[in-house]
Amino acid sequence: MDGINITNLSDRDSVDRHLRSDDQNLRNPPNYNVNRDDPIEWIKTRIHQVVVLKDEVNNSTETEEICAICHSEFEQEETIGTLRCGHEYHVGCIKQWLLRKKDCPMCRASVLPFTSTKITIEMHRI
């Protein structure tokens, strides 16, 4: 026999309640308070960690990572913001940038994962 066999009336009532709640959620989806048009919502963050290997302790050719917006070095334990393109900046710097523009300061890639394009379709009567 295929399907679900419900022999207990209380089981049937709980299934009915579950199905009704799913139907209610489809009509009124939850609001997660995410503004998909706000580029700041799309910044990933990480804590900057400098790893120095034993062999490199005395090596003076260590490359420093800098923020391309303020040209300051990333400090240990500082919060770094990463855009979808992979470029990284101080969180405060990139947030200020994104208040004015919605693209990466380095490569100009859009910060938003989608672009909103309006398409006008003209309907002609035949």
Q: What was the pLDDT predicted at 88?
A: 94
Residue 52 or 77, more confident = 77
Written as one string, the DSSP assignment of 37-90 is: T-GGGG-EEEE------GGGTT-TTPPPPB-TTT-PBPPTT-EEEE-TTS-EEE
Fold classification of 39-100 is Herpes Virus-1 (3.30.40)
Q: What was the pLDDT predicted at 86?
A: 93
Please list, in sequence order, all residues whose beta carbon lies within 8 angstroms of the beta carbon of residue 85, skipping any fewer than 6 positions away: 104, 106, 107, 109
- In the chain, domain spans: 39-100
Q: What was the pLDDT predicted at 82?
A: 93
Tell whether the model's pLDDT for residue 30 goes beyond 70: no
What does the block give as tokens for 69?
């917006």
What is the DSSP secondary structure assignment for residue 108, as one 8-state letter? -
> How far out from the chain centre does Cα 111 lie?
10
pLDDT confidence bin for 41, thresholds 50/70/90: confident
Dihedral (CA of 101, 102, 104, 110) sign: negative
Residue 14 or 78, more confident = 78
Residues 77-111 have pLDDT tens digits of 999 999 999 999 999 999 999 999 999 999 999 98
